[in-house]
């Protein structure tokens, strides 16, 4: 089946959004919000409604990060997490996690209704399913956690088997969840606040100096409060986030299929992971969205295009896929204990990161918590999400040690890797590591056969990046920084581009 040559997100493929100029002068406001995804936009919108003078800056275009490349499930069912939360944090805080995300769903619904946003906000039940009995004990433990916490859900294997065209051994449902079109929703918020919020695109934050955010274009914004909602905190050395966050990439395709998914949102506990939902296109037809194929950023064991092919084969085998209209990928950050870092990192600095692939609700939780901290000084969920928390179980320590050992291995092995690609052998649209004047060099040959050459050493901590053939990017296997084929930063923690050669 033909897979689109270019990576295009369904959520980004509609009318041209409003654009904003880069920051061109110094500025003073009450609150500086760094990051134009769901957390940054919602936080800026909420604070502006409270009368705060807000500046919102985005390194690229609004919603160009993970928010625009999600599967857009609005749910408190974040895989099989509640049994783990009870074990790590206790029943009371596990319940707080559920309530925070349920409140986020209600807040999104209320905002959609308030602004009359046409963003396909649709109530749906959410399911975690298994296709073999190997995972049944984990599912049963999660069911027990649902019962302890009073979660609106339970076993629903019969319903999942009725709705899904493949074998399902058992499923766990969480009722009264939703899905929507995140970009249409956020564009409505941007339109609503554009006359009261200073919004700047193509403005990358470089450093925080007291109450000032310095940008790479030489300007600065001064504010009483600074909200770092840039996905990976650009000030990561302040909180050592590079050592506490695990970056993962995952993939999605949008498919026209013979078999329509009528109801529900589904995610597998089995491997390889599969996420299934539908969206209604503007012509009224259903688009089947299938996601999965996750792996550590920069460490795919096969060419990245193969992940899309696996998803397409799954769609064809089970749903009778007729055409793949879209393909896109996203990068997500996972904390040591799977609970995001949200809240006050320093006296006047707030951080929001580590949503573990559930950014639509966790990102909304972040906006709600941080707005309360700025306006009221407290929030009932602040302790649970505290980015400075030290509550970790032995398994978290093991994860920390294992992950950082992998980083050290990548740092060393990347320097030792040899290359056999000849620059003359690259076809238009291809990239790889070549030797130029005795130095390993990243090369990409564009459609006009012009070669773009970069130093492949990541500007964050010096690891060697590798070529991503599907996204045409240079990806760092250590901490997940990503760069375009000509070296510009796509994903942090890196701030500076790759050196051009």
Q: Which of 214, 229, 242 is nearest to 343 (CA)?
A: 229
Q: What is the per-residue pLDDT for 340?
A: 97
The tens digit of pLDDT for each residue in 460-470 reads 989 999 999 99
Integer Cα distance of 484 and 468 in angstroms? 10
Quick check: 394 pLDDT over 70? Answer: no
Quick check: 124 pLDDT over 80? Answer: yes
CB burial string 153-184: b at 16+ within 10 A, e below: beebbebbbebbeeebbbbbbbeebbbbbbbb
Quick check: 79 pLDDT over 60? Answer: yes
Neighbours of 90 (CB within 10 A): 12
Mean pLDDT of all residues belonging to the chain: 92
The tens digit of pLDDT for each residue in 340-358 reads 999 999 989 999 999 999 9
State the average pLDDT over residues 391-414.
52
Quick check: 400 pLDDT over 60? Answer: no
**Banded pLDDT at 429 (limits 50, 70, 90):** confident
Half-sphere exposure of 402 (CA within 13 A, CB side): 9
Integer Cα distance of 449 and 230 in angstroms? 34
**Banded pLDDT at 402 (limits 50, 70, 90):** low
**Banded pLDDT at 420 (limits 50, 70, 90):** low
In what helix (H) or strand (E) does residue 83 lie, and over which residues does it extend?
A: helix 82-89
Q: What is the per-residue pLDDT for 422?
A: 80
Quick check: 370 pLDDT over 60? Answer: yes
Q: Which of 189, 222, 177, 200 is nearest to 43 (CA)?
A: 189
State the average pLDDT over residues 403-424.
58
Integer Cα distance of 112 and 445 in angstroms? 45
- Residue in the block written with tokens 């492949």: 456
The tens digit of pLDDT for each residue in 45-75 reads 999 999 999 999 999 999 999 999 999 999 9
Quick check: 115 pLDDT over 60? Answer: yes
Integer Cα distance of 238 and 231 in angstroms? 15
Q: What is the per-residue pLDDT for 122?
A: 97
- Indicate the pTM of the whole model: 0.92
Percent of the chain topping pLDDT 90: 81
Integer Cα distance of 491 and 480 in angstroms? 7
Q: What is the per-residue pLDDT for 380?
A: 97
Q: What is the per-residue pLDDT for 440?
A: 87
Question: Which tokens belong to 415?
Answer: 């320097």
Quick check: 210 pLDDT over 60? Answer: yes
Q: Considering only residues 307 and 422, tell me which one the structure prediction assigns the higher pLDDT.
A: 307
The tens digit of pLDDT for each residue in 469-493 reads 999 999 999 989 999 999 999 988 8
Q: What is the per-residue pLDDT for 424?
A: 83
Least confident of 103-117, 258-272, 365-379: 258-272
Q: What sections of 116-202 are H helices per DSSP? A: 136-149, 157-163, 182-193
Longest dimension (CA), the chain: 65
Q: What is the per-residue pLDDT for 418?
A: 54
């Amino acid at each position: 089946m033909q897979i689109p040559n270019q990576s295009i997100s369904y959520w980004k493929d509609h009318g041209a959004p409003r654009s904003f100029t880069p920051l061109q002068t110094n500025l003073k406001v009450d609150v500086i919000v760094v990051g134009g995804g769901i957390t940054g936009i919602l936080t800026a919108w909420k604070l502006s409604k409270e009368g705060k003078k807000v500046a919102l800056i985005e390194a690229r275009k609004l919603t160009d990060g993970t928010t625009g490349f999600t599967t857009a499930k609005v749910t408190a069912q974040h895989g099989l997490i509640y049994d783990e939360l009870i074990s790590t944090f206790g029943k009371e805080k596990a319940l707080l996690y559920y309530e925070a995300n349920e409140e986020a769903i209600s807040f999104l619904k209320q905002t959609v209704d308030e602004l009359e946003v046409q963003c396909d906000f649709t109530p749906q039940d959410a399911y975690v399913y298994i296709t073999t009995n190997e995972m049944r004990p984990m599912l049963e433990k999660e069911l027990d956690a649902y019962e302890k916490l009073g979660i609106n859900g339970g076993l629903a294997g019969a319903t999942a088997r009725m709705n899904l065209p493949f074998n399902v051994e058992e499923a766990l449902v969480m009722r009264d969840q939703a899905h929507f079109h995140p970009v249409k929703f956020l564009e409505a918020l941007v339109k609503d606040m554009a006359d009261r919020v200073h919004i700047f695109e193509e403005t990358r934050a470089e450093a925080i100096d007291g109450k000032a955010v310095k940008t790479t274009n030489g300007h600065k914004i001064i504010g009483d409060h600074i909200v770092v909602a840039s996905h990976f905190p650009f000030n990561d050395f302040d909180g050592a986030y590079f050592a506490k966050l695990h970056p993962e990439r995952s993939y999605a395709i949008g498919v026209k299929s013979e078999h329509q998914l009528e109801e529900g949102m589904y995610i597998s506990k089995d491997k390889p992971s599969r996420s299934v939902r539908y969206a209604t296109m503007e012509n009224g037809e259903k688009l089947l969205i299938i996601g999965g194929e996750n792996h550590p950023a920069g460490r795919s064991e096969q060419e990245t295009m193969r992940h899309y092919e696996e998803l397409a084969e799954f769609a064809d085998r089970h749903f009778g896929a007729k055409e793949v209209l879209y393909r896109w990928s996203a990068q997500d950050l996972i904390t040591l204990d799977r609970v995001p870092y949200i809240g006050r990192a320093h006296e006047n600095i707030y951080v929001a990161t580590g949503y573990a692939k559930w950014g639509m609700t966790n990102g909304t939780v972040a906006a709600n918590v941080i707005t309360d901290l700025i306006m009221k000084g407290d929030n009932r969920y602040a302790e649970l999400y505290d980015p400075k928390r030290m509550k970790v179980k032995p398994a978290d320590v093991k994860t920390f040690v294992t992950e950082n050992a992998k980083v050290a291995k990548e740092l060393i092995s990347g320097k030792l890797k040899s290359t056999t690609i000849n620059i003359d052998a690259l076809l238009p649209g291809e990239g790889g590591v070549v030797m130029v004047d005795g130095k390993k060099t990243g090369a990409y040959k564009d459609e006009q056969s012009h070669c773009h050459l970069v130093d492949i050493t990541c500007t964050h901590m010096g690891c060697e990046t590798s070529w991503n053939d599907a996204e045409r990017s240079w990806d760092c296997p250590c901490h997940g920084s990503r760069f375009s084929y000509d070296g510009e930063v796509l994903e942090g923690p890196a701030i500076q581009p790759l050196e051009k050669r």
